[in-house]
Amino acid sequence: MSKKVGKKLLEINDLLIEADIEGEWKPIINSLSMTLERGEIIGLIGESGAGKSTFGLTALGYTKPGCRIVSGSIKLDGVELVGKSDAELRKIRGNRVAYVAQSAAASFNPAHTLAEQFTESPVQHGKMKMSEARKRSVEMFRLLDMPDPENIGERYPHQVSGGQLQRAMTAMALGSDPDIIIFDEPTTALDVTTQIEVLGAIKEAVKARNVAAIYISHDLAVVAQMADRMMVLRYGDLIEEGNAREMLANPKQEYTQKLLNVRSQRVGRTGLDEEDIQLNVENITARYPGTNIDVLTNVNVNVVKGKTVAVVGESGSGKSTLARVITGLLPPSQGSVKFHGRELTPALKTRPKKDLQSIQMIYQMADVAMNPRQKIKDIIGRPLEFYLGITGKQHDDRVLDLLRKIELPEDYAERYPLQLSGGEKQRVCIARALAAEPELIICDEVTSALDQLVAEGILDLLLNLQKELDVSYLFITHDLATVKAIADEIVVMYQGGVVEQGAKADILAPPYAPYTELLLSSVPEMDPDWLDNLVEKRQRGELPTSESLGQS
Amino acid sequence: MTYLSAIWDDLNLSARIGLGIVLFFTTCGIFAPWLAPYSESQIVGDVWEPLFGEFFFGTDQIGRDLLSRLIFGARNTMALAIVSTAVSFTAGAVLGFIAATMSGRVDQVLSRIVDVCISIPTLIASLIVLSAVGTATQTLILVIGIIYALPVFRIARAVAMDIEVMDYVEAARLRGEGLWWLMRKEILPNALTPLAAEFGVRFCFVFLLIASLSFLGLGLQPPLADWGAMVRGNADGIAWGFLHPIMPAACIALLTIGINLLIDRWVHKASGLRDDQ
């Protein structure tokens, strides 16, 4: 394979893709074009439903089931892919064009070691012998900065961490020396601190091998670190295309500006009235039944009436367990939860209805938090009937009232959850919590599963409701942008303990606790040089890294 | 009427055939005394008179009209099978849901009891019980119901455990809802589809069990017509090349197929698959 310079590697012209939506073929990609040169990285950005994955995957000559290419051409190195047979396309896939999926955990076969899966594709394509492929795997694992590259291939997927698995997948993609790699949200499922490491490794490896890449993500700040050029998509249309730096500095379209602006910071309210402490978590230590590891150790958290306390931490830091302890789902082994100074019984079963009513919960995955067989009016209406004993006409009026509060049309009352979009579902969950007329709402990653702009809407709604109803929030999240947007106070958690609690302005300003600093410095910024600068600073020891924290 | 036609439009060809079969047998069962040319116990002719002669389906091994007995059999066998399956599903599902929602000790005790009981072969268990307590129809229903409640318990428990870990069940728990609400409003509607599929299969097994019991003289007592017993009674005819035992066997097979065609459609619809999938 000769690598000619200057010629366009990938040329997609006027591609029209239709999808079968309830029996009707509707266009989901409207005549989009794209060119890619060797060694170039192009970023595809958009919210869910923008068609960015569908469009990106066409470089493999692939469309998802239920989709079809109607017209247009996809030329890889001058060879047309549209209309090729599956057998011919198979020679290209994984060989000349490789794919890195969002969930590495779901893409690896749990029954084989990493090295076995690495060698499978190059050996099958007849590119390498087994021994060569093995050697190659070590080389690639080293390129991606994986620990112990000689032996890590002998491990099974469940024996390495999520970040390492994502790197192994990139290593695999690079293994057969492809011309193009498609990255489909490769770091979206990772913690911020892990994301940085993976991003850094990917960027370096891609540069070192001089492959072209299509980087698909909803996160503009992440794409900004990777891409030379960016395309912003929405509903299958191109909104804006251009040089990454230029677009960030000077977005032309309103939609791009909106995407850029969602990370703006809001000013937190200060001057908390210490006397009005509503929830008081004291010295909580907890473990799950049947285990002997404390998930929480000596946790203290206070929530002041009418304010928002954000609990922030990575996965495994114990923040969701804290919610389970407060709600009584997991009785703690030590410590107590006090509500207005009165101790709540540790177990849910023994709590009086009044206590249950005053603390409500909103979940991350709105689709599984609502019974799919109940109508919206029943979902919202149940707490009214259960806690407040409201029935009949008054009940129906209250349901409509709540729908208005969450800014949904009244006829949604008759719908089922499946007929709602992700953001609308989360709104209904909010209404269900409000129906109980609670004093405190625990929000467990309520915006993590949503698109940026939709999440923004939910946060706005929560803030408005707080102003109106004086309800307090315990807001659990891993996303610092959300914390900045909504919190009055911040609790930083790490490995089951509280690192610090304080007013937002104090936590987010120097001097930082080391872990807080790591967390804050890991949040991608809208600056194309941010990643490079950060990696450099960390190497010089000016900023903490996960390793340096682990040693201390 | 528009409601019925909407349902009809929603059925595909196989489901319509299934519906036709089920309606046909149900009609036979309900209007048996008026439809059947003779009574089920009356001896009207010679042994094994030929098909399509004086008697449409001929006569059975002691000279009763086979057509009449098939029609009455539809009534007796279907009623018995439906009631016993309903008993087994009610008992099995309620206990299975209780085991899944209460978990812990309750689940352990119930599950181990079921494990022990299920290890006894169905036929032997029913034989022992029926020979001890007699073969009145109510006893028959109860015994069959309990025996088939065991596998239903396991399925209901497994299905409910999958549902039980959903956030909406946790949300209901946090609200302080009681066990009955959780089972009835949160779990049951979501467990209905797999349970319905199971119902179609179990229903047919009940037929076969009743047939085996009749063979051993412990099922529906003669002269009550029962399809299973009729297969057994006429079985000797096979040796002579008579088609008589095929008739009740064909009825069992046809009804089984009909019910399953209908339920397949329902399961397909409920699973949210499109027609071309």
Using DSSP bridges, classify how beta strands A97-100 and A277-286 pair: parallel, antiparallel or unpaired.
Answer: unpaired
With 0-12 / 13-18 / 19 or more C-beta atoms within 10 angstroms meaning exposed / middle / buried, residue A421 is middle
User: In this complex, do B190 and A369 lie within 8 Å of one another by their Cβ atoms?
Assistant: no
Do A171 and A33 belong to one domain? Answer: yes
Most confident range, picked from A284-298, A402-416, A453-467, B86-100: B86-100
Residue A75 lies in a domain: yes
Which band of pLDDT confidence, cut at 50, 70 and 90, is reported for residue B188?
very high
Distance between first and last Cα of chain B: 30
Query: Positive or negative CA dihedral for A150, A156, A162, A165?
Result: positive
Please give the pLDDT value at position B12.
Answer: 84
Residues in chain B, total? 277
Chain B, nearest residue to A438 by Cα: B175
For residue B47, what pLDDT is reported? 74
pLDDT at A551: 46
**Contact criterion met (CB < 8 Å) for B174 and A327:** yes
Q: Cα–chain-centroid distance for residue B176? A: 37
Distances in whole angstroms, Cα of residue B16 to Cα of each of A515, B192, B272:
66, 22, 19
Name which residue leads in pLDDT, A498 or B36: A498
A368 touching B, CB under 8 A? yes
Please answer whether residues A538 and A234 qualify as being in contact, where contact means their C-beta atoms are separated by less than 8 angstroms.
no
Strands (E), A143-228: 180-184, 212-217
pLDDT value, residue B225: 83
Residue type, B149: A
Residue A263 maps to a domain: no
Closest Cα of chain B to A496: distance in Å?
A: 23
The two three-digit tokens of residue B190, written as one number: 């979501």
Cα–Cα distance measured from residue A180 to residue A38, given in angstroms and rounded to the nearest whole number:
8
CB A442 within 8 A of CB A362: yes
CA distances (Å), A65 to each of A19, A20, A222, in order? Answer: 9, 9, 29
Q: How big is the CA angle at A7 (ends A82 and A36), to the nearest 5 degrees?
A: 60
Whether B189 sits inside 8 A of A374 (CB atoms) is yes
For residue A552, what pLDDT is reported?
42
Residues of B in contact with A353 (CB under 8 A): 176
Neighbours of B171 (CB within 10 A): 25
Q: Give the pLDDT confidence score for residue B275 in this predicted structure.
A: 52
Answer whether residue B88 shows pLDDT above 90. yes
Alpha helix ranges (H) inside A301-375: 319-327, 353-358, 366-369
C-alpha closest to that of A63 among A109, A98, A29: A29
Average pLDDT of span B212-219 = 78
CATH code for the domain in which residue A375 is found: 3.40.50.300
| The token pair that represents A384 in the structure block | 């009214």
Check if the beta carbon of residue A521 is closer than 8 Å to that of residue A511: no
Mean of all residue pLDDT scores within chain B: 85
Of A37, A89, A35, A31, the C-alpha closest to A62 is: A89
Contact B176 A374 (CB under 8 A): no
Measure CB to CB from residue B190 to each of A373, A387, A432 and give the nearest one: A373
Distance from the Cα of A131 to chain B's closest Cα (Å) equals 43
Are residue A95 and residue A193 in the same domain, yes or no?
yes
User: Does A261 map to a domain?
Assistant: no
**pLDDT value of residue A550:** 60
A10-21 vs A24-36, strand pairing mode: antiparallel
Pair A530, A473 in one domain: no
From chain B, pick out residues whose CB is under 8 angstroms from the CB of A370. Answer: 168
pLDDT higher than 70, residue A124: yes
Amino acid at A85: S
A372/B177 touch (CB, cutoff 8 Å), yes or no: no
Distance (Å) from the alpha carbon of A239 to chain B's nearest alpha carbon: 33
- Tell whether the model's pLDDT for residue A524 goes beyond 90: no
Give me the DSSP letters along A263-289.
Answer: T---PPP----GGGEEEEEEEEEE--T
Numbered residues of chain B with Cβ closer than 8 Å to any chain A Cβ: 166-168, 170-177, 185-186, 189-190, 274
Contact B170 A329 (CB under 8 A): yes
Terminal Cα-to-Cα distance of chain A (whole angstroms): 50
Superfamily of domain B13-270: MetI-like (1.10.3720.10)
Give the C-alpha distances (Å, rounded to integers) separating A292 from A28, A286, A330, B29, B105: 51, 10, 15, 63, 21
SS (H, E, C) chain B: CHHHHHHHHHCCHHHHHHHHHHHHHHHHHHCHHHHCCCCCCCECCCCCCCCCCCCCCCECCCCEEHHHHHHHHHHHHHHHHHHHHHHHHHHHHHHHHHHHHHCHHHHHHHHHHHHHHHCCCHHHHHHHHHHHHCCCHHHHHHHHHHHHHHHHHHHHHHHHHHHHCCHHHHHHHHHCCCHHHHHHHHHHHHHHHHHHHHHHHHHHHHHHHHHHHHHCCCCCCCCCCCHHHHHHHHHHHHHHCCCCCHHHHHHHHHHHHHHHHHHHHHHHHHCCCCCCC
The answer to whether residue A323 neighbours chain B at the CB level (below 8 Å) is no
* Any B CB within 8 A of A540 CB: no
Residues of B whose CB is below 8 A from A383: 175
Residue A438: DSSP 8-state: -
User: Cβ separation of A373 and B174 shorter than 8 Å?
Assistant: no
Query: Which of A68, A360, A371 should be substituted to probe chain B, the one whose Cβ sees the most B Cβ atoms within 10 Å?
Result: A371
Q: Are residues A492 and A538 in the same domain?
A: no
Q: Does the structure show a pLDDT above 80 at A436? A: yes
In this prediction the ipTM stands at: 0.76
> How close B38 gets to chain A, by Cα (Å)?
49
Alpha-carbon distance B41 to A382, whole Å? 57
- Strand residue runs (E) in A158-209: 180-184
Cα–Cα distances in Å, from B17 out to A388, A493, B3, B14, B75? 50, 62, 19, 5, 21
Any chain B CB within 8 A of the CB of A432? yes
Task: Say yes or no to pLDDT of A18 above 50.
Answer: yes
Contact call for A329 and B173, based on CB within 8 A: yes
Contacts of A265 (CB under 8 A, 6+ apart): A484, A485
Of all residues in chain A, the one with the smallest CA distance to B186 is A371
Residue A301 placed within a domain: no
Q: Is B185 within 8 Å of A374 when comparing Cβ atoms?
A: yes
Residue type, B129: V
Q: Is the pLDDT of residue A441 over 90?
A: yes
Going from the C-alpha of A133 to that of each of A107, A125, A165, B137, the distances in angstroms are: 20, 11, 19, 72
| Closest Cβ–Cβ partner in A365, A374, A383 for B175 | A383
Average pLDDT over residues A365-393: 90
**Domain tally for chain A?**
3
Residue A263 has pLDDT above 60, yes or no: no
Is residue A280, in this structure, part of any structural domain at all? no
Between CA A338 and CA A360 the distance in angstroms is 15
Q: Cα dist. A135→A132, A417, A443 in Å?
A: 5, 52, 48
Query: Considering the entire predicted model, what is its pTM?
Result: 0.79
- Give the C-alpha separation, A64 to A53, whole Å: 10
**Closest CB to B176 among A356, A369, A370:** A356
CB contacts under 8 A, A 37-76 vs B, are: none
Domain ranges in chain B are 13-270
Least confident range of A316-325, B49-58, B247-256 = B49-58
Find the mean pLDDT for residues A252-259. Answer: 84
Closest alpha carbon to A470 in A447, A498, A441? A441
Q: Does A194 touch chain B (CB under 8 A)?
A: no
Whether the per-residue pLDDT at A4 is higher than 60: the answer is no
Please give the pLDDT value at position A517: 85
Domain that holds residue A539: 517-552
Do residue B274 and residue A23 have CB atoms under 8 angstroms apart? yes
Render pLDDT for A152-179 as a digit per residue (tens, 0 to 9).
Answer: 888 888 888 888 888 888 888 888 888 8
Say what percent of chain A tops pLDDT 90.
17
Residue A189 burial (CB count, 10 A): 17
Residues from chain A contacting residue B274 (CB–CB below 8 Å) = 23
Q: Are residues A484 and A537 in the same domain?
A: no
Check whether residue A172 and residue A211 sit in a common domain: yes
In terms of domains, do A532 and A458 share one? Answer: no
Interface contact flag, B168 A371, Cβ < 8 Å: yes
What one-character DSSP code corresponds to residue A36? E
pLDDT at A430 over 60: yes
SS3 A531: helix
Q: Mean pLDDT over all residues of chain A? A: 85
pLDDT over 50 (residue A2): no
Whether residues A463 and A503 share a domain: the answer is yes
A229-234 and A10-21: which strand pairing?
Answer: unpaired
Question: Could you tell me which chain A residue has the CA closest to the CA of B277?
Answer: A66
How confident is the model over A450-476, as pLDDT tens digits? 887 888 888 889 988 998 888 999 999
Is the Cβ–Cβ distance between B227 and B215 less than 8 Å? Answer: no
Sorted by sequence, the CB contacts under 8 Å of residue A279 that are 6+ apart come out as A301, A302, A303, A326, A337, A338, A339, A359, A440, A472, A474
DSSP A93: B
* Range with the poorest average pLDDT among A79-88, A106-115, A349-358, B205-214: B205-214
Instruction: In whole angstroms, give the CA distance from residue B161 to residue B103.
Output: 9
d(CA A372, CA A379): 10
Among A351, A361, A373, whose Cβ lies nearest the Cβ of B171?
A361
Place of tokens 């499922």: A189
Asked whether the beta carbons of B81 and B140 are under 8 A apart, the reply is: no
Which has more confidence, B105 or A94?
A: B105
Reduce the DSSP state of residue A221 to 3 states and report it: helix
What is the mean pLDDT of the segment spanning A96-101?
87
Distance, in angstroms, between A373 CA and closest chain B CA? Answer: 6
Chain B positions in Cβ-Cβ contact with residue A356 (cut-off 8 Å) = 174-176
Q: Which residues of A touch B159 (CB under 8 A)?
A: none
Clarify whether residues A367 and A225 are in a common domain.
Answer: no
pLDDT, residue A21, reads: 75
**Mean pLDDT (whole number) for B184-196:** 89
Closest residue of A to B104, CA-based? A289
- Is A3 part of any domain? no
Cα B74-B75-B76 angle, rounded to 5 deg:
100
With contacts defined as CB-CB under 8 Å, which chain A residues touch B173?
Answer: 329, 348
Give the bridge partners for A550, in sequence order.
none
- Looking at the structure, tell me whether residues A481 and A546 fall in a common domain: no
- Say yes or no: A278 contacts chain B, CB-CB below 8 A: no
Closest CB to A370: pick one of B168, B177, B185.
B168
Sequence-distant (6+) residues with CB within 8 A of B128 are none
Segment B26-46 mean pLDDT: 83
Q: How far apart are CA B240 and CA B232, in angstroms?
A: 15
pLDDT tier at A337, thresholds 50, 70, 90: very high
Which residues 493-522 on chain A approach chain B with CB closer than 8 angstroms? none
Question: Which chain A positions have a beta carbon within 8 Å of B186's beta carbon?
Answer: 371
Do B175 and A363 count as a contact with CB atoms less than 8 A apart? no
Task: Say whether both A246 and A323 belong to one domain.
Answer: no
Higher pLDDT, B61 or A402: A402
Tell whether the model's pLDDT for residue A209 goes beyond 80: yes
